[in-house]
Amino acid sequence: MNRFASRFALLGLALGVASFAPAAFAQDGGSAADSNNAPAQQHRAPPDPQKQAARLATRLGLSDDQTSKLTAILQDRQQQLAAVRSDSSLAPQDRRAKLHSIQQGADTQINAVLTPDQQKQYATLKQNMKDRWQNAHGAPNTSGGADSGSDNDSH
C-alpha cells in the first residue's frame, strides 16, 4: 500500500511540474535533471518560472501581457509548492492533497489568462506530458474510472 501511495505521490508531483513545463522536457529531453538526480526525483530543482512562461509563450502564441501574467502565476505556484514540500510536519496524504490543490489553483489562474484556443493547446500539452511521464515510469492510469467505472469498488 505504501508503494502505491508513493507512486501516486510521484505522479501528482510530476503532473504538477509537467503542467507548466511540457516544452521544457520536450525540448531539453529532461537534460541533466533526469540523469543526474534519478534516485532523488522529488528533490530536483523546480523549473524556472520565467523559462516555463517563455516556452509556453512560444508554444501557445502568448502576448507579452499574457506571458507576464503567467510568469507571476508560475512564480507564486513554485513558492507555494516549495513551502508544502519543505513542511515535514505534513503526512504524505496531506502533502499530496495540498500539492494537488495548489496545482489546480494555478491551472485555473492560467486558463483564465488564456484564450479558448490557447486553453485547448495548453490542455493538450499537459496531457502529452502526463502520457510521457506515465510511459517513462511505467505508471498505470490512475485517473480513476476513465476506463470502466465498475472497477473502483472491487480493488
pLDDT tens for the chain, 155 residues: list them. 555 445 544 445 444 544 444 444 344 444 443 444 444 445 567 789 999 999 999 999 999 999 999 999 999 999 999 999 999 999 999 999 999 999 999 999 999 999 999 999 999 999 998 899 889 887 665 554 444 444 444 44
Query: Is residue 39 assigned to a domain?
Result: no
Query: What pLDDT is recorded for position 2?
Result: 54
Of 6, 9, 2, 11, residue with least CA distance to 137 = 11
Query: What pLDDT is recorded for position 138?
Result: 79
Query: Is residue 54 assigned to a domain?
Result: yes
Inter-CA distances, 109 with 17, 66, 104, Å: 16, 11, 9
Report yes or no on whether pTM surpasses 0.75: no
The count of domains in the chain is: 1
C-alpha cell at 150: 465498475
User: Which residue segment(s) compose the domain that 55 sits in?
Assistant: 2-22+47-136
Query: Is residue 144 assigned to a domain?
Result: no
Query: Is residue 37 assigned to a domain?
Result: no
Helix 116-137 vs helix 49-60: crossing angle, to nearest 10: 120
- Determine phi and psi for 21, rounding to 5 degrees: -135, 40
Query: Is residue 40 assigned to a domain?
Result: no
Is the sign of the CA dihedral 34, 85, 22, 75 positive or negative?
negative
Is the sign of the CA dihedral 143, 61, 136, 82 positive or negative?
negative
The answer to whether 49 and 75 have CB atoms below 8 angstroms apart is yes
Query: Is residue 35 assigned to a domain?
Result: no
Query: Is residue 149 assigned to a domain?
Result: no
C-alpha cell at 82: 516549495
Query: Is residue 33 assigned to a domain?
Result: no
